[in-house]
Structure 1
Amino acid sequence: MITTSDFHDIETPTGTMRTYVYRPNETGNFPAIIFYSEIFQQTAPIARTATILAGHGFVVLVPEVFHELNPIGTVLGYDDEGKDKGNNDKWTKPLEAHDSDTVALIDFAKSLDYCTGKVGAMGVCIGGHLAFRAALNPNILAASCLYATDIHSDTLPSEKDNDSFSRTGDIKGELQMVWGKQDPHVPDAGRMKIHQQLLNCGNHFSWTEFNAQHAFMRDEGERYDPVLAIRVYTMAVELFQRTLR
């Protein structure tokens, strides 16, 4: 499908959140995917991924995940300065603020006359964590979580007993967990900790590990693996076609 894109400024309890919308450029009603970015917000690789998903018949919402901490439209660079700023934002914004963002995004998706009202979530890096976290909301029917950071380590700020790992059992939708085995941000022990928690909690999930590094989906930089990226896109599209149609 040919796609089109625009943006909307959505009001949340913690401020205005610019959200980029990618969708098929044809009439009809389509399910929505909230696509959570890396710490750098909506970079060119994130926009290209959103376009790919939209071309398969989805309305893709890309929120600025740290909208409270940056001017609207901020995109951080893939350099040390951008990484330091993004990590500082990650460690500053509490998970509860991400939760209220998700509620606002779901309400927005359901208000669109070209959406069916069914919503899934997807994300990469911190966005993989946020997709996992979004699935705590029962309106999220499925989540594709790609090399999700900080779940195993409980390093994001939250209220007591409200971290994402501890609340795994509250997730009712289907989870697709995808990892790179050479990812230093989520080492073997961290991945196995999450896997065991999913088993213990009885979640409905799939689990895939590739011989790949962190950010192997990002089509800029030396870690990009295009063959694996195509496979993961196919996996994600299958998940959402099955659970959101």
Structure 2
Amino acid sequence: MIIQHHSHDLPTATGIMRTSVYRPQQDGMFPSIIFYSEIFQQTAPIARSAALLAGHGFVVLVPEVFHELNPAGTVLAYDDAGKDKGNADKWAKPLESHDSDTQALIDFVRTQDYCSSSVGAMGVCIGGHLAYRAALNPAIKAAFCLYATDIHSDTLPAEPGNNSFARMADIAAEIHFIWGKQDPHVPKEGRLKIYQQAVATGINYQWQEVNAQHAFMRDEGDRYDPALAINMYQQAIALFQRTL
């Protein structure tokens, strides 16, 4: 499908959140995917991923995940300064604020005449965590979580008892976990901890560990695996076509 792109400044509980929307040009109502970025926000690789998904018949929303902490339109570079700023933002924003952002995105979808009522979530790196976290919201029907950081370590700020790992049992959506075996950010022990929790809680999940490094989906840099990335897009599209 040919797609179009526009942006909206959405009200949230913690301020205005700029959100990019990628969607088919043709008329109709399409299911939505909230696509959560890395700590760098909407970089060129994230925009290309969103466009690819939209071209398969989805409305794809890319929120600025740290909108409270940066001017609207901020994109961090893939360098040490960008990494340091992004990580500082990650540790400064509580999970409860991400939850209210997700609800604002769902509320937006429900008011658009080009959106159906079906919503899924997808993300990479911290965005994988946020897609997992979004699945705590009953409106989210499926989540595709790529190398989700900080679930196993409980390092993101949250109110007592509201960390993402402990709340896994509250997820009703179908959730797919994708991990790189050579990813130092989620080591073998961390993956095992999450897997055992998924088994213990009885959630509806699928699990894959692939021979890849962290950020293997990002089509810039020396960790990109094009063949594996294409396979992941195909799996994500199949999940959302089936569930949404």
Please give the TM-score of this superposition, normalised by the length of structure 1: 0.99
Residue pairs, 1:3-22, within 5 angstroms: 3-22=3-22
Q: Distance in 2 between matches of 1:203 and 1:162?
A: 18
Residue pairs, 1:1-245, within 5 angstroms: 1-244=1-244
Q: Distance in 1 between matches of 2:215 and 2:202?
A: 28
Q: Distance in 2 between matches of 1:239 and 1:162?
A: 27
Q: Deviations over 1:81-122 (max 9, x none)?
A: 000000000000000000000000000011110001110000
Q: Distance in 2 between matches of 1:83 and 1:136?
A: 28
Give the secondary structure class of the aligned counterpart of 1:206: strand
Q: State the identity %.
A: 71
Q: Deviations over 1:55-75 (max 9, x none)?
A: 000000000000000000000
CA RMSD of aligned residues (A): 0.3
Which one-letter code corresponds to 1:135 in the other structure?
A: A
Q: Distance in 1 between matches of 2:51 and 2:169?
A: 32
Q: Distance in 2 between matches of 1:173 and 1:124?
A: 18
Give the secondary structure class of the aligned counterpart of 1:111: coil
Q: Distance in 1 between matches of 2:65 and 2:170?
A: 23
Q: Deviations over 1:39-65 (max 9, x none)?
A: 000000000000000000000000000
Please give the TM-score of this superposition, normalised by the length of structure 2: 1.00
Which one-letter code corresponds to 2:107 in the other structure?
A: D
Which one-letter code corresponds to 1:96 in the other structure?
A: E
Ranges in structure 2 where 5+ consecutive residues have no aligned partner: none
Q: Distance in 2 between matches of 1:171 and 1:111?
A: 25
Ranges in structure 1 where 5+ consecutive residues have no aligned partner: none
Q: Which runs of 4+ in 1 moved over 4 A?
A: none
Which one-letter code corresponds to 1:60 in the other structure?
A: V
Q: Distance in 2 between matches of 1:200 and 1:120?
A: 24
Residue 199 (structure 1) shift: 0.6
Q: Distance in 2 between matches of 1:80 and 1:110?
A: 39
